[in-house]
Amino acid sequence: MIIYLTVVLMFSFTIMNFTNTILYNSIDQRFYSSLKSTAENSIAYDGDILYFDKYILNQKINKLLKYELIDIVSNKYYLYINYFYGDGTVCTYRCKMVNIRLKVVISSTATYDKAYSLTIV
Amino acid sequence: MLKKSLTLALALLNLLPSSKPNRFKDIFITPISDKQYISFSFIVNNPCDTEFKIYVETPGCQDTYLYRNKVYILLNFSDQFLLPKEIIFDNSCLIFMAKSNTSSSFLRFDLKVQNPLYNLNEYTTFTMEDALQYLDDRETIHYAQETLNFNNLANNLVLSRPFLPFSHISITQESNFYMDYLTFDEIVMRILDKENLFSLFKHKNNYVDIRLELEKIGQNYKLSLLDKLYVHNEKLLLSSQPKEGFVRTNYIYLPKNCTKRLFKIEIQFKNLGIQKINCKYDYNIEIKEKYFGSCSTAKHCVQIEESLNLSEKNKVEVFL
Q: pLDDT tens string for chain B (320 positions)?
A: 445 554 544 444 444 444 455 578 788 899 987 776 777 777 777 667 778 888 888 887 777 788 888 777 665 577 778 888 788 888 888 898 888 777 788 889 988 888 788 999 999 999 999 999 998 877 889 999 999 999 999 888 888 777 888 988 999 999 999 888 999 999 999 999 999 999 999 999 999 999 999 999 988 999 999 999 999 877 889 999 999 888 888 889 888 878 788 999 999 999 999 999 999 999 999 988 777 777 877 788 899 988 888 888 888 877 77
Tell me whether A77 touches chain B (CB under 8 Å): yes
* CB neighbourhood size of B131 (10 A): 25
Of B301, B308, B311, the CB nearest to A80: B311
| Contact state of A65 with B320 under an 8 Å Cβ cutoff | yes
The reply to whether ipTM tops 0.85 is no
Which residues, 6 or more positions from A62, have their beta carbon under 8 angstroms from its beta carbon?
A79, B316, B318, B319
Torsion of CA B43, B44, B50, B54, to 10 degrees: -40
Residues of chain B with CATH 2.60.40.1930: 19-115
Which residues does chain A have within 8 Å of residue B233's beta carbon, measured at their own beta carbons?
A: 44-46, 53
Interface of A with B in 81-120 (CB under 8 A): 81-82, 99, 101, 113-120
Amino acid at the residue B98: A
Distance from CA of A14 to the nearest CA of B (A): 27
Q: How far apart are the first and last CA of chain B?
A: 107
Which residues does chain A have within 8 Å of residue B248's beta carbon, measured at their own beta carbons?
A: none
Distance from CA of B166 to the nearest CA of A (A): 15
Tell me whether B244 touches chain A (CB under 8 Å): no
Closest listed residue to residue B40, CA positions, set B117, B95, B89: B95
Please report the domains of chain A, with CATH numbers, ordered by start residue: 2-119 (3.30.1300)
| Contact state of B314 with A82 under an 8 Å Cβ cutoff | yes
Which residues, 6 or more positions from B195, have their beta carbon under 8 angstroms from its beta carbon?
B260
Tell whether domain B19-115 is in CATH 2.60.40.1930.
yes
| Contact state of A58 with B310 under an 8 Å Cβ cutoff | no
| Contact state of A44 with B313 under an 8 Å Cβ cutoff | no
Tell me whether B249 touches chain A (CB under 8 Å): yes
Distances (CA, A) of A72 to A23, A65, A66, B206: 8, 10, 10, 49
Ranges of H-type helices in chain B: 2-15
What is the reported pTM? Answer: 0.73
